[in-house]
Amino acid sequence: MCALPKGCSSKHVSLLTDQDNWRHSEQMWLPIRNLKTEETSDKRFSFTVCISTVFGRYNNVLQFAQSLEMYRLLGVNRVVVYNTSCGPELDQLLHSYSQEDFVEIVPWPIDEHLTPSYGWLHSESGGDVHYFGQQTSLNDCIYRSMERSRYVLLNDIDEIIMPYQQSGLVPLMDILQKQHPDAGVFMIENHIFPKKYFEPSGKFNRSQWNKVPGVNILEHIYREDPARNVYHPYKLIIQPRMVEQTSIHEVLKIFGTQAPVKVPPDVCRIIHTRVALRGDLTLEQLKEDKRLWDFSEKLIPCVDKALRKAGLLDTKDGHKGG
């Protein structure tokens, strides 16, 4: 947003408290990672997922790996993870993924500088900054991706934005963009799959995964219907160059006049495997939803491969894979 001198090609930026000391040796210069060049246009990703933020030594390794591999099967090219702290096994997994450039790890040590809130409701959780700076990291990820990705998905690692009528995100967005050519924001409804209810046959209760920390999303096929008489959250698929500022569940400022599009849940919804939101619902009141199983034949070997590569899964001969 700053006006640049004519002919200036900036590669770094800094903040000054004293304009006379800009040459000071201790001045911190941050590289501009979003330069618009012919090369970035040629190498633009189709889909980037922004994950904010991993904290509290989070160690749900199995669901993390399943989600990443599911993103990949759906057509995601890049996942950006803002990491404050995670458990040792998840650290292994993230390091392994980052070596193949599918996952970009952004160190996010905000707890070393501020007292972050551990909950989303500030009146209950307090702190200097909301939920480990979740909104800040999402906005950072949008700007990081403006020249690198056609679309950005803003959702959590335990949420999968799942097309229900198309095989992946590319055909989904081709259709939605044709229907709404001027739209830059698509809102996807959240649907909870309570992790306390298991698919009864045990079809995907795999002994190979029992020693891997975390939730096996393939075992949870029962879906809550949202309580539509109260506020119900959405997550977002955006064109980053059309968004100026976002919050977690909706954009705050956009470029252009086209209002955000609410995508019908029969076209696309979020599969969110977590604790029940409507805990009063019985199993009989939930809807059976096996959409994830449509990808199981491809998903399972991909997850196994990722876990072995990270050294988290026994190989056939009983030794750890490295």
pLDDT in tens, 115-146: 988 887 778 888 888 889 999 999 999 999 99
| Number of helices and strands in the chain (H, E) | 7, 15
The 10s digit of each residue's pLDDT in 187-242 is 999 999 999 999 999 999 999 999 999 999 999 999 999 888 888 889 999 999 99
Contact 156, 274 (CB under 8 A): no
Is residue 36 predicted with pLDDT exceeding 70? Answer: no
pLDDT of 318: 42
Rounded distance, CA 223 to CA 191, Å? 7
Contact 262, 189 (CB under 8 A): yes
Is residue 301 predicted with pLDDT exceeding 50? Answer: yes
The 10s digit of each residue's pLDDT in 72-108 is 999 999 999 999 999 999 999 999 999 988 999 999 9
Q: DSSP of 156-173, one letter per residue?
A: -TTEEEEESSSSSHHHHH
Rounded distance, CA 312 to CA 320, Å? 7
Q: How far does Cα 133 stand from its chain's mean position? A: 15
pLDDT of 321: 42
Is residue 39 predicted with pLDDT exceeding 70? Answer: no
Domains and CATH numbers, the chain: 45-310 (3.90.550)
Q: 């988290």: which residue's tokens?
A: 312
Smallest Cα–Cα separation from 157: which of 240, 66, 73? 66
pLDDT of 230: 86
Is residue 40 predicted with pLDDT exceeding 70? Answer: no
Q: 């959240």: which residue's tokens?
A: 190
Contact 116, 3 (CB under 8 A): no
The 10s digit of each residue's pLDDT in 138-166 is 999 999 999 899 999 999 999 999 999 99
Mean pLDDT of the chain: 90
The 10s digit of each residue's pLDDT in 46-71 is 999 999 899 999 999 999 999 999 99
Smallest Cα–Cα separation from 305: which of 48, 53, 72? 72
Rounded distance, CA 229 to CA 94, Å? 39
Contact 82, 53 (CB under 8 A): yes
Is residue 12 predicted with pLDDT exceeding 90? Answer: no
Contact 129, 237 (CB under 8 A): no
